[in-house]
Chains A and B, each alone.
Chain A
Amino acid sequence: MSLQTVKFYQTGTFTVGNRLLAEDERTIQATAARSNSLNCGHRACQGCGEALGARYAIDAAMAAANGQLIAANATGCLEVFSTPYPETSWQIPWIHSLFGNAPAVASGIAAAMRIKGRSDVRVVAQGGDGSTTDIGFGCLSGMFERNDDVLYICYDNEAYMNTGVQRSSATPPAVRTATTMPVGPEPGNVFGQGKYLPAIAMAHGIPYVATATVADLRDIEYKVRKAINIRGAKYLHIFVPCPLGWGSAAHDTINLAYLAKECGLFPVFEAEQGEVTGVSKIRRLIPVEEYMKPQRRYAHLFGKKPALETIAKIQARADHNIKKYGLLEQGAQR
């Protein structure tokens, strides 16, 4: 009789840590020595996905850069909740200038480091989806086009949260915000508008583009380390649920990020020189409703008369992603 001979570690690599793994196989977040780049006392809402995603990513960047890191930050929640002058939660060299210019500031820092011969110092720029896809897009595209040695991280919570949940070009269709149709036959954000920045970044042919969610720490740490070790322009797009703007429970932040990936609405992949090189497969495929229902921004679709057509259109978007990025394992059941 043949017996199983695989290595198996109870939770494998799904949990943050795992006492059964060798030290060097553990995550940075699992160590007591992590840099806690974004320290406590910050004023983000309870259960803020952006605060969590930022600590995950910047701690990983700090580890990859041996502590030699400078970050430029766009205006938005991440900046406002972390740094109400003169207090700050950042435990790294960090600079805030404007809503729309973080990529340009970072490009400048990278140039300065080059002139000073400090190739050991790595540069990160970060901002919300509004600053990235809308107002800062010109600076970002320029940074890509020049292949400046910067890792740009977008924390995508799918709207302008800091100023009260206004629509951005990353807001998905049908989602209700403060600036979309409140009533009428089809309330919420329109279909057929908006932009998908990871694909636009890839079109620049930069060395590295990746997406990730706060539900998969190991994936974030892997992608940040990889990006920090590449010279040139890198783009990382992290999906970060926002309890306030989405009308979701504070404790549901990681779960929603997980469901967004599992239903196919948020594809998780990496691309080099404009070509997709790796995808995170769906573990257990779910219908989009399972992801949407716990969020009040979709509540109008699930009233007495569910908006079946709208839901079907959203499902079609997920199905499209699944096909386009090959999100299902070979032979997996639909």
Chain B
Amino acid sequence: MSIVLDKPFAITLDVGSSLANKTGSWRTARPVYLDRLPPCNNQCPAGENIQSWLNLAEEKQYEAAWRKIMEENPFPAVMGRVCYHSCESACNRGTLDLPVGINSVERFLGDQALKHRWKVEPGKSTGKKVMVVGAGPSGLTAAYHLARLGHAVTVFEASAKPGGMMRYGIPKYRMPREKLGAEIARIREMGVDIRLDSKLDDVARTMNDGGFQACFLAVGLQRGRCVDIPGAGEGQEKIAVVDAISVLRAVELEEATALVGRVVVYGGGNTAIDVARSAIRLGAVSVTVVVLEPREHMPAHPAEVKEGIEEGLHLINLRQVRRIDGKVLTLEIMVAGDGREYLHTGQSETMEADVFVQALGQAGDFNALCNLPGIVIEDGAVEVNAELMTGSAGVFAGGDMIPAQRNVTAAIGLGKKAARNIDAFLRGEKPRLKPKADIADFSKLNTRYYSDAPRTIRPILDVVRRSSGFAEIVGNLDEESAVFEARRCMSCGNCFECDNCYGVCPDNSVIKLGPGNRFKFNYDYCKGCGICAAECPCGAIKMVPEEI
């Protein structure tokens, strides 16, 4: 210390900085950064990292955003059209105003990739051979991920074209074939060998003969389920009775279909609505959908029902078909009981029809599997363990053929999961499971920091044009609207570098690490007031008690 006399008047000590005072010792709780699991990601059956690709889309980094999707799901353009987007029902923004239009942005990105021909490279070859049975969404997704992991993949497909129900079930007006074809072609370009017109009748033999070290079964449920209705097929003038799956396949193959005259579709699911809407497009005289459930409990997606009705389908709820006499259908009137029970009234009414389409679900044909040792088939589905392996070692299964959610996105999620587990199996390891992070539910957010912004709506082809052809009915968002929509995302649970913590700390105890690198705390001075955690818009900071 210097001598007092050297100092100016009345000064006895050197000026010091308060940095000598380490106020971090006052703290009883410390802030820590964390990544919480956004509810949309948690909900997505394909396990997409939605928040993270929206974040890139917000910055107009479309290719990077698309690559983020492709880490999980090889079908963004398909997803943007047929996925039932349960992510949007889980989206926190729905509590604030309206959910983020995740699906529209995904479609925009998927289409950008097709337009610019972005590609994915296969992984370095492992020399291992895997076979996949069925080129539906589940099989193709597994093939894609296996190829990325460096395995040689052969896909056996019974039909003349790949895609499974994405092609032979879902009608063109919802899923244009050139988009589907282009996304499948991209997988083929990675070296995945898809053998068409190759229906397998003995999987065990093919596996053995081909020297495959593992197999993924994804044969789906290819048969339409039917019920026997008294009187059907009797008499001279009879109603043509067909099943929905065959009809939709015929529509796709542009074969003569039964959908002429007065068409009655029986069933309340998406398939029933797809058949009905196809019939309208094929010029049927009238199209009626007879459903057991009341409208609000129909399994079909409400938007599809609404659009179908706009196009002219006639919906009759709470009816069960009892008899067919010539061209007359007898429908019993049902009433809703407790929950999802429907009670008979004994009262009935009749209606005339030329065609009766049964859309009552699907069943599988698993004959080709019977030589696989240990395989178990129960309730019309193949049993698998938590790793998706069947009772037969090295044979995995997924998609519609196992007891699970039955939709394209779930089939894709299961294909991905199977690929990762097959990879572990081939390396003789246990699959690695990442522990699930805490969910960033609405209560974790500080929503006052988000701009008010209504959702953009995708344009829809007008009714006259859509009921008279198979043109795609739901249009695209333009770039500006897609970016706008992406920017409505609140980045739940994941730092998006808004600088709030850096700004609001009364003790300058947040260090900014620069774009993309987020922040860190300076625990030498942080007093643990918790303002940063309270003011973080997206809930990416947590206060943790100090050990004292």
Contacts and interface: CB of A to CB of B under 8 A. Distances in A.
B512 interface: yes
A117 interface: no
Given A3-B456, A36-B508, A51-B507, A43 B534 contact: no
A41 B20 contact: yes
Contact of A19 (B18, B21, B451, B497): B497
Nearest to B454: A4
Contacts of B449: 11, 14-15
A86 B450 contact: no
B487 A8 contact: yes
A29 to B, nearest CB: 4
A15 to B, nearest CB: 4
B502 A47 contact: no
Contacts of B502: 16-17, 29-30
Q: Specify which of B15, B488, B515, B522 lies most central, judged by the most chain A CB atoms within 10 Å of its CB.
A: B15
Contact of A30 (B453, B490, B491, B499): B499
B251 to A, nearest CB: 29
Contact of B17 (A12, A20, A41): A41
Given A14-B450, A20-B58, A4 B26 contact: no
Contact of A255 (B489, B500, B534): B534
Interface string A12-28: 10111111100000010
Interface in B42-70: 58-59
Contacts of A1: 457, 459
Contacts of A19: 59, 496-498, 515
A183 interface: no
Contacts of B448: 14, 258, 283
Given A47-B531, A254-B534, A3 B507 contact: no
A189 interface: no
A252 interface: yes
Contacts of A255: 534-535
Interface in A247-302: 249-255, 258, 283
A42 B143 CA distance: 60
A49 B23 contact: no
B537 interface: yes
A6 B499 CA distance: 24
Interface residues of A, number: 53
A162 interface: no
Most B-side CB within 10 Å, residue of A8, A48, A253: A8
Interface stretch (B230-238, B371-379, B477-485): B477-485
A18 B449 CA distance: 11
B62 to A, nearest CB: 15
B19 interface: yes
Contacts of B500: 15-17
Contacts of B533: 251
B525 to A, nearest CB: 4
A10 interface: yes
B515 A254 contact: no
A249 B59 CA distance: 37
A48 B506 contact: yes
Given A15-B449, A16-B503, A5 B509 contact: no
A222 interface: no
Interface in A24-54: 27, 29-30, 32, 36, 38-44, 46-49, 51-52
A217 interface: yes
B13 interface: yes
Interface in B65-95: none
A49 B59 CA distance: 34
Size category of the B interface is 35 or more
28 contacts: A1-B459, A3-B477, A3-B478, A3-B481, A8-B487, A10-B451, A10-B488, A11-B449, A15-B449, A16-B499, A19-B59, A20-B487, A27-B503, A29-B502, A29-B503, A30-B502, A40-B19, A40-B524, A46-B529, A47-B530, A52-B504, A85-B13, A86-B15, A86-B16, A88-B16, A217-B503, A253-B529, A283-B448
A17 to B, nearest CB: 3
A131 interface: no
B66 to A, nearest CB: 19
Contacts of B481: 3-4
Max chain B C-beta neighbours (<10 A), residue from A4, A10, A49:
A10
A55 B13 contact: no
B503 A46 contact: no
A126 interface: no
Nearest to A10: B487
B527 A46 contact: yes
* Chain B contact surface mostly: loop
B14 interface: yes
Given A3-B456, A46-B26, A86-B16, A8 B506 contact: no
B451 A14 contact: yes
Nearest to A253: B531
A2 to B, nearest CB: 10
Interface of B: 13-23, 26, 58-59, 448-451, 453-454, 456-457, 459, 477-478, 480-481, 484, 487-491, 496-500, 502-509, 512, 514-515, 522, 524-525, 527-531, 533-535, 537, 543
Interface string A139-167: 00000000000000000000000000000
A40 B522 contact: yes
A132 interface: no
Contacts of A51: 506-507
Given A41-B23, A88-B18, 13 more contacts: A3-B480, A4-B456, A11-B537, A19-B496, A40-B23, A41-B18, A52-B506, A82-B18, A86-B13, A88-B16, A217-B503, A255-B534, A283-B448
Contacts of A40: 18-19, 23, 507-509, 522, 524-525
A250 B530 CA distance: 7
Give the 8 A-B residue pairs with the shortest CB-CB distance, closest first.
Answer: A17-B499, A16-B503, A41-B18, A251-B530, A47-B529, A86-B13, A40-B525, A46-B529
A37 to B, nearest CB: 10
Contacts of B506: 44, 47-49, 51-52, 55, 253
A43 B23 contact: yes
Contacts of B14: 86
Contacts of A250: 528-531
Nearest to B487: A10
A5 B482 CA distance: 11
A15 B495 CA distance: 13
A41 B527 CA distance: 10
A87 B59 contact: no
Contact of A42 (B18, B59, B512): B18
A196 interface: no
Contacts of A48: 506, 529
A89 interface: yes
B474 to A, nearest CB: 12
A9 interface: yes
B484 A4 contact: yes
Given A3-B481, A32-B512, A41 B503 contact: no
Contact of B507 (A6, A14, A42): A42
